[in-house]
């Protein structure tokens, strides 16, 4: 794995997200109310809405454009919607958020 520091954990509010630009595209880093971190593609599979601006609830995010909801764990669309977004390994260390950038090329959405 190729862990890269992408910012301070304190910069991501509970039930919020931050968008990180990488050489392979934009990644959304989410922080749940249970203090869990998840990383996904920042683009909704429906109309490429900015997921980092969506509503985080439990282990899900709802796109701000057309209300598609995705599992932050699997990237799968929920309910009647079909599709998925890429998910990436993310962790914290000493208050910093680390993203495994080696997986970005493998999982980048088409």
What CATH number did the domain enclosing 91 receive? 2.102.10.10
Look at residue 110 in the predicted model and tell me its pLDDT. 39
Domain total of the chain: 1
Q: How far apart are CA 70 and CA 63, in angstroms?
A: 8
Look at residue 51 in the predicted model and tell me its pLDDT. 97
Contact 66, 46 (CB under 8 A): yes
Look at residue 50 in the predicted model and tell me its pLDDT. 97
Look at residue 10 in the predicted model and tell me its pLDDT. 96
Owning domain of residue 86: 3-107
Look at residue 109 in the predicted model and tell me its pLDDT. 46
Residue 66 DSSP label: T
Mean pLDDT by 10 residues, the chain (110 residues): 93 96 92 96 94 97 96 95 94 96 64
Contact 26, 43 (CB under 8 A): yes
């Amino acid at each position: 794995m190729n862990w890269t520091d992408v910012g301070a954990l304190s910069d991501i509010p509970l039930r919020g997200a931050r968008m990180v630009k990488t050489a392979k595209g934009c990644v959304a880093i989410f922080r749940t109310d249970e203090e869990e971190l998840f990383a996904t593609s920042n683009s909704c599979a429906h109309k490429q809405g900015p997921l980092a601006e969506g509503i985080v609830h439990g282990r899900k995010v709802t796109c701000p454009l057309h209300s598609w909801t995705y599992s932050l764990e699997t990237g799968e669309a929920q309910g009647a919607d079909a599709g998925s977004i890429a998910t990436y390994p993310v962790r914290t260390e000493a208050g910093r958020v680390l993203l495994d950038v080696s997986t970005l090329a493998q999982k980048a959405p088409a």
